[in-house]
Amino acid sequence: MKITSAKVIVCSPGRNFVTLKIETDEGIYGLGDATLNGRELSVASYLQDHLIPSLIGRDPFQTEDIWHYFYRGAYWRRGPVTMTAIAAIDMALWDIKGKALKVPVYNLLGGKSREGAVVYAHANGVDIEQTIDEVARYKDLGYLAIRAQSGIPGLKSTYGVPKDNKPYEPAERGLPSESLWSTEKYLRHVPKLFDALRTRLGEELHLLHDVHHRLTPIQAARLGKELEPHHLFWMEDPVAAELQDGFRLIRQHTTTPIAVGEVFNSIYDAEQLIREQLIDYIRMTVVHAGGITAMKKAADFAALYHVQTGSHGATDLSPVAMAAALHLDVAINNFGIQEHMAHNAETEETFPHAYSFSEGMMYPGDTPGLGVEIDEKLAERFPYQRAYLPVNRKEDGTLFHW
């Protein structure tokens, strides 16, 4: 089998998605997600201008060699744009391989270790009361694990909090908006949120919280310690993780489990964190960390150190990436949990898929390949719209982590 053509489809059914479609001489095609939130067109160009020309004529079964061809062959290694582009190619090739062999991708990764993947939902509220209502709503929908975020008294807007009663979506159309941040106000408020959640909803539900890279290690240690009585499933991204050493300090002070990695694009971003057992969950994803080929190796490496996976799964991961994540989730032994933020109706219609949700779990379905399609005619009706993640400043104006 030979690759005959490949094209990049950019669409915006409510938010932007970049999709790679690779075609072969046997009529089989594969899809890969290439969406990098707020930097979509860079990946589209990287694929169109630099990778696709070298892809034509290759054997789509050679996922390992093609991965290294684009990783080592570029000379310039790593980085989110590069690794998202490689991921899209890799996903599409596994999709082709599965379709050609008439098996779902999980059967190429070791087969099912479990029937489905436990997922967690996002409950967001402007205040504690609204967040509790949202957690209760997701519990009624059958979710077994729920992430809770709430607005902070004295701050106009913060990460995870919906505006104008619309479902929360991190990217906003137009140029980046700016939010104001206060670590003191945040640290005072979050323990109250979890006190109230446990009092009202009991012990059993798995609760998670995303700090979104906003604390220093010692501040994160304080929060982890204060949340210990509530037995969180995890505290996510407690600090920005360029300095892997920083996590040692958190670890010395708290038993609250730690998850990190949604912005990582290479196993080298997490190597020390995993090897020194400084984290409990690695949140790298197929789309931003080099595809199924790279993620399977990262998961196997993490397994040696008692680290489980907790793959990023926000709305900026298209249904193609969601499907690829679910195939990995059911196949690997050290799966922990899968993030799930539901896509809007237009996205669901543009990307018909075999995966499904039932009673707190998601299932990849048994369709050969990844089990996702793209309705190209419909995608054309939703052209790209400039959109960015917000920028965050401290109350005195200092640019901060978002």
Residues within the interface to ligand EZ4 (CB under 6 A) = 37, 170, 210, 212, 262, 312, 314, 316, 339, 389
For Co ion, give the closer residue by CB, 238 or 360.
Answer: 238
For Co ion, give the closer residue by CB, 58 or 213.
Answer: 213
| Cβ atoms of 58 and 397 closer than 8 Å | no
CA 55 to chain CA centroid, Å, is 26
Q: How far is the CB of 322 from ligand EZ4 (least distance, A)?
A: 12
37 binds, among Co ion, ligand EZ4, none (CB under 5 to 8 A by kind): ligand EZ4
159 in active site: yes
Q: How far is the CB of 212 from Co ion (least distance, A)?
A: 6
98 binds, among Co ion, ligand EZ4, none (CB under 5 to 8 A by kind): none
What does the chain come to in residues?
A: 402
Q: Which residue is nearest to ligand EZ4 (CB)?
A: 314
**Which one-letter DSSP state was computed for residue 50?**
I
| Cβ atoms of 364 and 340 closer than 8 Å | no
For Co ion, give the closer residue by CB, 167 or 352.
Answer: 167
Q: How far is the CB of 285 from Co ion (least distance, A)?
A: 11
Q: How far is the CB of 262 from Co ion (least distance, A)?
A: 5
For Co ion, give the closer residue by CB, 262 or 329.
Answer: 262
The contact set with Co ion (CB under 5 A) reads 210, 262
**Which one-letter DSSP state was computed for residue 276?**
T
265 vs 93, 271, 283, 284, 316, CA distance in Å?
19, 12, 10, 7, 16
Catalytic residue selected from 159, 168, 186, 281:
159
Q: How far is the CB of 325 from ligand EZ4 (least distance, A)?
A: 13
CA atoms of 68 and 74, how far apart (whole Å): 9
**Residues linked to residue 208 through DSSP beta bridges, in sequence order:** 147, 234
For ligand EZ4, give the closer residue by CB, 126 or 314.
Answer: 314
293 binds, among Co ion, ligand EZ4, none (CB under 5 to 8 A by kind): none
| Cβ atoms of 145 and 159 closer than 8 Å | no
Listed in sequence order, the DSSP H helices in 230-386 are 246-253, 271-275, 291-303, 319-331, 345-350, 376-380
Q: Which residue is nearest to Co ion (CB)?
A: 210
Catalytic residue selected from 189, 209, 212, 327:
212
387 vs 294, 295, 361, CA distance in Å?
28, 28, 31
212 in active site: yes
Which token pair is 225?
A: 């310690």
Catalytic residues: 159, 212
